[in-house]
């Protein structure tokens, strides 16, 4: 708390001019929050995100900034607004999420940052997908893909994976295959850019790519392929480097594995796949995880499983889990 107070004082003490110390501190804070976002519950991050966005906006609105500083501030504002869009999405508020995402895009545009524009389109695709607006999710992914010419970082991989997932939800099997193949080509061509250097939510590592592939193939009728993809994603997160680990995407990989096993006609291994998800604390029960868990509940309501004791037990646990999402916690 003392460090936060000191940072705010030093930022204000430099007056209307944005000094190098303040700009460097803002940059370090955004980097810290980007790295922490996929790994920590939302509650300890939300206040800092709001404060950093507010400071960045104040400097842009009232400060005396040179053109190079303005571009940097707009980029930092874009990233922070993007994280707050993800936070609203995680809290189950897609309307606020899209508002923050549009602000992030305006900031990316003012920074004239090509990769950041594409990244925000990916974020909009993600928000629309989990809100059940799959056609819109596909549209945003396509908009992002149209902007990745010359982008070397992993956001290009993310956009192709988003397109694959939206295509799967729409039942376009050919689009899924082509988009996943394009994601592989983008991975082979990728080299880290300045967004990847922020780490965390701003980069798209291999385990996350495998999870998206599992998410896409979970919609397809080929059960064995879905299981293979989900098992690969679960293994990748089990073996991931610390900086590549993300509790939300790991949970998604586990629910995909449970779904694949159910759709293949067996309850064997379903509880094993779901256990790490159902053991998550209430503070980690973000919107995407809750939605994925509900998909498992729906699958277990198939007439084949209605009287199966293990299916009944899992359904009851899922109902208890989804009754206390992070959005229900006091903030």
Return the pLDDT at 67: 81
Sequence-distant (6+) residues with CB within 8 A of 256 are 211, 214, 215, 218, 226, 229, 230, 233, 292
Give the CA distances from residue 212 to residues 177, 218, 269, 310, in Å, rounded to whole numbers and listed in that order: 13, 10, 21, 28
First to last CA, the chain: 18
pLDDT for residue 1: 56
> Residues 152, 197: contact at Cβ < 8 Å?
no
Q: What is the pLDDT of residue 14?
A: 53
Binned average pLDDT, 10 residues per bin, the chain of 331 residues? 55 60 90 97 94 91 81 96 97 96 97 96 98 96 92 95 96 93 95 95 97 91 82 96 96 96 92 96 95 95 91 95 79 55
Give the residue ranges of DSSP H helices in 190-222: 206-217
Total-model pTM: 0.92
CA angle, residues 29, 329, 319, in degrees to nearest 5: 125
Report the pLDDT value the prediction gives residue 225, as an integer from 0 to 100: 86
CA distance 175 to 164: 7
pLDDT of residue 4: 57
Cα–Cα distance measured from residue 250 to residue 19, given in angstroms and rounded to the nearest whole number: 40
β-partners of residue 64 are 17
What does the alpha-carbon distance between residue 34 and residue 115 come to, in Å, rounded to a whole number? 16
């Amino acid at each position: 708390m003392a460090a936060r107070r000191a940072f705010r004082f030093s930022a204000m003490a430099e007056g209307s001019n944005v000094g190098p110390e303040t700009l460097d501190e803002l940059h370090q804070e955004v980097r810290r929050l980007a790295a922490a976002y996929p790994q920590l519950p939302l509650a300890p991050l939300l206040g800092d995100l709001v404060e950093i966005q507010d400071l960045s906006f104040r400097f842009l609105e009232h400060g005396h900034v040179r053109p190079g500083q303005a571009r940097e501030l707009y980029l930092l504002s874009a990233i922070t607004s993007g994280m707050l869009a993800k936070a609203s999405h995680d809290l189950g508020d897609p309307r606020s999420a899209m508002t923050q995402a549009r602000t992030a895009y305006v900031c990316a545009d003012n920074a004239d940052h090509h990769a950041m524009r594409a990244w925000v389109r990916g974020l909009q695709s993600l928000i629309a997908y989990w809100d059940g607006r799959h056609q819109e999710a596909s549209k945003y992914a396509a908009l992002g893909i149209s902007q990745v010419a010359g982008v070397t970082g992993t956001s290009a991989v993310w956009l192709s994976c988003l397109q694959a997932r939206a295509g799967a939800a729409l039942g376009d099997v050919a689009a899924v295959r082509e988009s996943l193949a394009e994601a592989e080509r983008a991975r082979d061509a990728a080299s880290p850019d300045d967004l990847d250097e922020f780490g965390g939510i701003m980069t798209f590592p291999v385990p996350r790519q495998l999870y998206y592939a599992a998410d896409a193939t979970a919609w397809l009728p080929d059960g064995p392929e879905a299981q293979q993809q989900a098992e690969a994603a679960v293994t990748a997160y089990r073996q991931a480097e610390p900086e590549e680990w993300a509790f939300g995407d790991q949970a998604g990989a586990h629910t995909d594995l449970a779904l694949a096993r159910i759709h293949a006609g067996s309850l064997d291994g379903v509880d094993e796949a779901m256990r790490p998800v159902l053991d998550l604390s209430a503070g980690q029960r973000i919107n995407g995880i809750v939605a994925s868990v509900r998909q498992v509940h729906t699958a277990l309501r198939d007439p084949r499983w209605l009287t199966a004791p293990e299916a009944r037990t899992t359904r009851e646990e899922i109902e208890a889990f989804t009754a206390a999402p992070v959005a229900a916690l006091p903030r």
